[in-house]
Amino acid sequence: MAARARPAGAPGRPEPPPASAPAQARDPLVAQVQKILREISESEEDPLPAGARPFLRAAVVTLDGPRRIVLQVPPGLAQETLGSKAARAGVAAALARRLGHDVALEVRPLPNGPARITPESLKNDRLARLGREEPALERAVQAWDLELLD
């Protein structure tokens, strides 16, 4: 049985205070949105412009209010693709359907992000994302200096 997010402002869920990105990474809603973005990127059921899906996996999710989701992506093609009106509308609709309430979606460039997405940067981003999702994995990667192979 899938858990549904309770809309912000509903009884039992206080509105989240503004927080830094590391603190938000532990927010259950951020984790849920990251999981949904991964599902969207792997599925063809949601209408998105060509080439948008791979960039969803590299996006860093932050919240700018209870129903405003910010995707931070590398500047350049990722930002242009996901920042298009069609991509934002498609991703917002897919998120809203899965979260059970409307969301506003904003796409911003990653501060100090790489100028280009390369196979190496995708591996590093994926390893970092996996570490954020599983803290035990992150500790193992750091302790043993692991890297992701093809």
Domain ranges of the chain: 21-114, 118-150
Q: Which of 50, 29, 26 is nearest to 133 (CA)?
A: 26
Per-residue pLDDT at 91: 92
Tokens of 106: 């904003």
Please give the model's pTM, rounded to 2 decimal places.
0.59
Per-residue pLDDT of the chain (150 residues; tens, 9 = 90+): 444 343 444 444 333 334 444 445 567 888 888 999 998 888 888 888 888 888 888 889 998 887 899 999 888 888 888 889 999 999 999 999 998 999 999 999 888 765 566 777 778 888 888 888 888 888 888 888 777 776
Per-residue pLDDT at 112: 74
Per-residue pLDDT at 17: 38
Q: List, as one string, the DSSP characters of 27-88.
A: -HHHHHHHHHHHHHHH-SSS---TT-HHHHHHPEEEESSTTEEEEEE-TTHHHHHHTSHHHH
Per-residue pLDDT at 24: 53
- Interacting residues of 107 by C-beta distance below 8 A, sequence separation 6+: 70, 71, 72, 73, 79, 82, 83, 87, 88
Return the CATH superfamily for domain 21-114.
DnaA, N-terminal domain (3.30.300.180)
